[in-house]
Amino acid sequence: MTLKEPVPVAPGTATGAKAEPPHRATAWPEARAAAARAGTAARAGREPRRLPLGQALGHALAEPLLALTDLPSFDTSAMDGWAVAGPGPWSVRTETPVLAGHAPAAALTDGEAVRIATGAPVPPGTTAVIRTEHSRTERTDTERTDTEPAESADRTESTERAGGVAAPGPVLHALRGVVPGQDIRPRGQECRAGDELLPAGTEVTPVVLGLAAAAGYDELPVPPRPRVEVLVLGDELLTAGLPHEGLIRDALGPMLGPWLAALGAEVLATRRIGDDAEELYAAVTGSAADLVVTTGGTAAGPVDHLHRVLDKAGATLLVDGVKVRPGHPMLLAALGGHRHLVGLPGNPLAAVSGLLTLAEPLLAALVGASPSGGRAPVLDEVHGHPYDTRLVPVVRRGEQLVPLRYNGPAMLRGIAVADGMAVVPPGGARSGQELDVLDLPWPPTSGAVPAQGACFT
Ligand SMILES: Nc1nc2c(c(=O)[nH]1)N[C@H]1C(S)=C(S)[C@@H](COP(=O)(O)OP(=O)(O)OC[C@H]3O[C@@H](n4cnc5c(N)ncnc54)[C@H](O)[C@@H]3O)O[C@H]1N2
Ligand code: MOO
């Protein structure tokens, strides 16, 4: 590998030159934006497919979720009790109670009441629903003048005297004031047909499935999953056993496939290529993936073939180095035909940095989603790079971010227990300063993290 960076010259030195940024790489926020733009452009022409609700979990909505019906779709009783019309007392209509899932009962006229269950359509003319426990019924039968609890109304609703002569039905009294409309969920209370319930790009969670079903959907439109292939470069990598004689375990092959899958990708394969330029050329040009992710070989060492291979393949470098630590040799290339390649540096935490900087925004844009993240204050001062952004593994402690100790470019020990990576601007961050945080696509840690400290090598 050759040194990519001119040594910065301090102002006032013998050369008289001003201090220059140490390399001509893309600024970190612009690199992320370029990756998102690449994903958005590649998204054009990728037709959404319709998946049954049972298969749509975890996808992003390809289109806004528009209500296919009013919700509720009819005026609904919110309580078990009585549908009443006008002021009371009411004469109870002694028909079958109105139940959920049944056709609406005949219209009520002022002074009438009918038993009704939660979720049942209120009869036309209903002005309020009175909860069972806020009511009492009274028989008008001369043999019985005592009042009875409403729960036993069914038993009191005998309309026949001995001899078959119709008796007046029971009378319903309210035990509290009755407000017009009380305990009625009016049609369209939650939404009207055509209302946007959720924007495109929303992740389909279990609740989204429930809302979609309530709103009338059997299927949901989702973008096709981006197809990704991972190519792991490096002759020094072992796939099993202990490191020995300069050989080390491949830490990225086992990590990247599942990580990319957690970001919504369909991982076609993870292939180990070694340091063979021809094999790499064949793998890159022959890949059927929308996104090829390579690891290693991004720098300028004797066996770092990636730039030469991309050049030979006619690829266009959209980002060639990013002003970020770790991971500054990362790159993004357009391969033609809406296909892209993200080159992750070989150092494992540098590869994570490249994944979050370039691969995540590109994949999110390909499916119309937004990259995850938020902002939070950092507990202590964080050392910064003079010119470049730093990405630092952090845990969330309450509202605050705590940087983790093992954050060197070759280390995964910090990020393994992290909740995300804090974005530390050039020059560093003060204690209490708000920082952007890049989330990881799995639940936060329990917070049981070893003691903190600094370790930058
Ligand atoms: N002269 C220069 N040398 C280097 C520079 C530079 O600017 N000038 N940049 C350094 C930085 S920063 C990084 S990051 C690396 C990037 O190197 P490559 O992307 O070319 O990666 P490799 O050289 O292949 O590997 C670097 C390092 O990572 C280990 N590695 C590679 N793959 C894996 C893997 N799958 N699992 C675990 N570890 C892996 C590899 O053995 C090396 O130790 O370049 C610096 N050098
Ligand atoms: O950018 Mo390198 O990632 O410092 O190791």
C-alpha of residue 367 to centroid of ligand 1, in Å: 31
C-alpha of residue 3 to centroid of ligand 1, in Å: 12
C-alpha of residue 199 to centroid of ligand 1, in Å: 41
**CATH code of 61's domain:** 3.90.105.10
Ligand closest to Cα of 5 equals: 1
Digits of tens for pLDDT over the chain (457 positions)? 333 333 333 333 333 334 444 457 999 999 999 999 999 999 987 999 999 999 999 898 999 999 999 999 999 999 999 999 999 999 999 778 888 888 878 899 999 999 999 999 999 999 999 999 999 999 865 434 334 444 444 433 333 333 334 456 799 999 999 999 999 999 999 999 999 999 998 999 999 999 999 999 999 999 999 999 999 999 999 999 999 999 999 999 999 999 999 998 999 999 999 899 999 999 999 999 999 999 999 988 888 899 999 999 999 999 999 999 999 999 999 999 999 999 999 999 999 999 999 999 999 999 888 878 899 999 999 999 999 999 999 999 999 999 999 999 999 999 999 999 999 999 999 999 999 999 999 987 765 555 444 443 3
C-alpha of residue 347 to centroid of ligand 1, in Å: 5
Give the number of C-alpha atoms closer than 13 A to the C-alpha of residue 78, restricted to the C-beta side.
Answer: 12
Q: What is the pTM of this model?
A: 0.78
Assess whether 211 and 62 both reside in one domain: yes
Neighbours of 252 (CB within 10 A): 28
Neighbours of 15 (CB within 10 A): 8
Range of the domain at 117: 76-185
Q: Is position 113 within any domain? A: yes
| Ligand 2: nearest atom to the Cα of 409 | 5
What are the CA-CA distances from residue 401 to residues 378, 385, 389, 409, 421 (Å)? 5, 19, 17, 20, 10
**CATH code of 238's domain:** 3.40.980.10
Q: What's the rounded Cα separation, in Å, for the pair 406 and 291? A: 30
Q: Which two tokens stand for residue 7?
A: 């040594």
Which residue among 328, 387, 455 has the greatest number of ligand 2 atoms within 8 angstroms of its CB, and so is best to mutate?
328
Which residue among 347, 387, 457 has the greatest number of ligand 1 atoms within 8 angstroms of its CB, and so is best to mutate?
347
| Ligand 2: nearest atom to the Cα of 347 | 5
C-alpha of residue 329 to centroid of ligand 2, in Å: 7
Q: What's the rounded Cα separation, in Å, for the pair 35 and 49? A: 24
Q: What's the rounded Cα separation, in Å, for the pair 215 and 420? A: 35
* Domains held by the chain: number: 4
Q: Is position 456 within any domain? A: no
pLDDT in the model for residue 302: 84
| Domain end point (choices 340, 366, 392) | 366
| Domain end point (choices 336, 366, 396) | 366
Assess whether 260 and 129 both reside in one domain: no
Sheet containing strand 90-92, strands side by side: 128-131, 81-84, 112-116, 90-92, 171-174, 135-138, 147-149
Query: Which residue's alpha carbon is nearest to atom 9 within ligand 1?
Result: 299
CB proximity list for 75: less than 8 A, separation 6 or greater: 121, 122, 126, 184, 185, 186, 187
C-alpha of residue 409 to centroid of ligand 2, in Å: 5
Query: Which residue's alpha carbon is nearest to atom 32 within ligand 1?
Result: 346
C-alpha of residue 325 to centroid of ligand 1, in Å: 13
Assess whether 263 and 333 both reside in one domain: yes
Q: Is position 406 within any domain? A: yes
Contact in structure between 6 and 22 (CB atoms under 8 Å): yes
Residue 408 three-state SS: coil
| Domain end point (choices 366, 388, 403) | 366
Query: Which residue's alpha carbon is nearest to atom 1 within ligand 2?
Result: 327
Q: Is position 17 within any domain? A: no
Residue 417 three-state SS: helix
Query: Which residue's alpha carbon is nearest to atom 5 within ligand 2?
Result: 409
Q: Is position 447 within any domain? A: no
Assess whether 214 and 301 both reside in one domain: no
Assess whether 245 and 356 both reside in one domain: yes
pLDDT in the model for residue 448: 57
What are the CA-CA distances from residue 168 to residues 141, 160, 240, 357, 419 (Å)? 7, 9, 88, 78, 70
* pLDDT tens readout for residues 50-97: 999 999 998 989 999 999 999 999 999 999 999 999 999 999 997 788
The ligand 1 site (C-beta within 6 Å) comprises 1-4, 232, 234, 236-237, 248, 250-252, 295-299, 301, 304, 326-329, 345-348, 350, 409
Helices (H), ranges, 82-198: 153-156
Query: Which residue's alpha carbon is nearest to atom 45 within ligand 1?
Result: 299
Helices (H), ranges, 168-289: 206-214, 253-262, 277-286
Q: Is position 449 within any domain? A: no
**CATH code of 434's domain:** 2.40.340.10
Q: Is position 444 within any domain? A: no
Assess whether 112 and 249 both reside in one domain: no
What sign does the dihedral 208-210-213-215 (CA atoms) show? negative
The ligand 2 site (C-beta within 6 Å) comprises 325-328, 345, 347, 350, 409
Contact in structure between 423 and 28 (CB atoms under 8 Å): yes
**CATH code of 166's domain:** 2.170.190.11
Contact in structure between 123 and 107 (CB atoms under 8 Å): yes
Ligand closest to Cα of 322 equals: 2
Query: Which residue's alpha carbon is nearest to atom 24 within ligand 1?
Result: 296
Assess whether 304 and 386 both reside in one domain: no
Assess whether 354 and 390 both reside in one domain: no
Neighbours of 187 (CB within 10 A): 17
pLDDT in the model for residue 391: 98
Assess whether 351 and 205 both reside in one domain: no
C-alpha of residue 405 to centroid of ligand 2, in Å: 16
Assess whether 254 and 178 both reside in one domain: no
Q: What's the rounded Cα separation, in Å, for the pair 216 and 67? A: 7
pLDDT in the model for residue 238: 94
Assess whether 155 and 253 both reside in one domain: no
Assess whether 384 and 345 both reside in one domain: no
C-alpha of residue 24 to centroid of ligand 1, in Å: 19
Q: Does 29 sit behind a cis peptide bond, omega within 30 degrees of 0 on the bond before it?
A: no
Q: Is position 407 within any domain? A: yes
